Amino acid sequence: MTDTSMHVKRCPECDEWTDAKLDNCTHCGFPIHEARRSEIKKRRQVDDIHIPIWRINKDDPFWLKIFKRPVQLVQLALYSIVAFFIYLATAFAH
Ligand SMILES: [Zn+2]
């Protein structure tokens, strides 16, 4: 271990540098690692949302491929809107 920058961490509560080895901020007692963990967990949950897109199979008949294409576009549009709202909800949760 040669990187000494790993041992300090900026507290998200009081914005002071604190010892990263400790669980709580030395200035205000804020649980710095706890906050980070829940933040990561929150991001993971957003990333893990399964998107069941109706896939076009190679052996689908021609008419079915034509039909599925706009359905996929609508699905993608809806999911991007939903993802945007989830982003907003997490961004303003603090
Ligand atoms: Zn603090």
Residue 11 CA, ligand 1 centroid: distance in Å = 5
pLDDT above 80: residue 90 = yes
Q: What is the model's pLDDT at position 36?
A: 64
* Same domain membership, residue 44 and residue 19: yes
* Same domain membership, residue 91 and residue 56: yes
Residue 35 CA, ligand 1 centroid: distance in Å = 11
Query: Is pTM beyond 0.85 here?
Result: no
* Same domain membership, residue 57 and residue 26: no
Domain boundary among 28, 48, 68: 48
Q: Nearest-CA neighbor of 26 among 39, 37, 40, 10?
A: 10
* Same domain membership, residue 88 and residue 63: yes
pLDDT classification of 94: cutoffs 50, 70, 90: low
Q: What is the model's pLDDT at position 1?
A: 46
| Residue showing tokens 């920058």 | 5
- For the chain, the average pLDDT equals 81
**55-86 pLDDT, tens digit each:** 778 888 889 888 888 888 898 899 899 999 99
Which domain range does residue 17 map to? 1-48
